[in-house]
Amino acid sequence: MQGASLSAAQVPASSRRLRLLLNLSLIGVVFTAVVVLIGAWTRLVDAGLGCPDWPGCYGGLVVPDAERAMAHSPDVPLEAFKAWIEMIHRYLASTLGLLVIVLLALGAGLRRRVGYPWRINLALLAVILLQGAFGAFTVTLKLWPQVVTLHLLGGLSVLALFLWLHLALRRFAKGHALEAPRRRLTPLWGLAVALLVLQLALGGWVSSNYAGIACQGVPTCNGQWWPSMDWSEGFHLTQTVGPNYLYGQLHADARTAIHQGHRIGALLLGLALLALALRHWSEVRLRPWLAGVVIAYGVQLGLGVANVLMWLPLWLALLHTAGAVSLVVLLALAVWRWRETAIEAVDSTRRDKEWVHV
């Protein structure tokens, strides 16, 4: 097994292809983060329905003039600025999809080599296709909160898969011992990951239901520790399809419940991440990543508080989204380091033995 993976790194043609795959997968990580942030900006400036149709805009591949827009959709007046923001987001998302296809095509010739992460390639293609469908439904279902939230989670999933693919390609290129066991996630690791996913979903639900400033003040909410809230309506996941959900459809108490749920989720996530860091702080190789996760969480918490106190300014809301992106990246890196430590230890021991033997 080891010889098969090493040969992939030693054959010149394969080496060039691997370097290209490594570079493109890293570009994919950065590019996905940019697309996620532009998607957040699109929503924050209320441009999600800047084009009433999909995939074009008023029937064209570029934003038309007001006359053509009126002829296509007389009930939806053209707002050129919002339409261009929406189309730029679509152009970039489409480019990201092409990048996934290129990675799949380049990796097809290596898929039979032991250790090549072909399944991650396929998973990335499946998720990017699903993400495209969510993008279409976001428009056709008029910002239905369920789809908007899934669209956010899909974007972050694409980001995590690009990162995982890049890390797996690095391991494959280095020819690490494939027979070495990898550590499985413990319940504490699983809890931290699950709570992060839940908190990201809650953040998307807050955003898609326009509940970001439903609570005024921190740590209290509207002057109370436990204000009037409608939890059943706030987390009613079968909202009617049909109405235009721009600016939201829920009443104040339902939005307050959503906001408070996000705060509670943040507290639980913080406790889990802190417990994880304390539990594994003695592992020197893992310590920088755990520290990064905890620091990123602290910054994200501060950004959340600032957004409430400053009434959700655009630039600060974007920074809050960037904080979510950084948490996903750092926790994914920490998980990877945890699982791969056993492999690196085995490789290190083998190299030591070979040196002694020589």
- Determine whether 283 is an active site residue: no
Q: Give, to the nearest 10 degrees, the angle between helix 187-208 and helix 145-174.
A: 140
Q: What token pair was written down for 45?
A: 């400036």
The answer to whether residues 312 and 212 touch, using CB atoms and an 8 Å cutoff, is yes
Q: What is the DSSP letter of 226?
A: S
Q: Which of 247, 298, 303, 243 is nearest to 269 (CA)?
A: 298
Q: What token pair was written down for 338?
A: 């945890």
Say how many CA atoms lie within 13 Å of 78 toward its Cβ: 18
Q: What distance in Å separates the CA atoms of residue 163 and residue 331, rounded to the nearest whole number?
A: 11
Identified catalytic residue from 67, 79, 86, 344: 86
Distances (CA, A) of 307 to 27, 211, 284, 319, 321: 30, 12, 35, 10, 11
Q: Which of 263, 240, 262 is nearest to 250 (CA)?
A: 240
Q: Catalytic residue positions?
A: 86
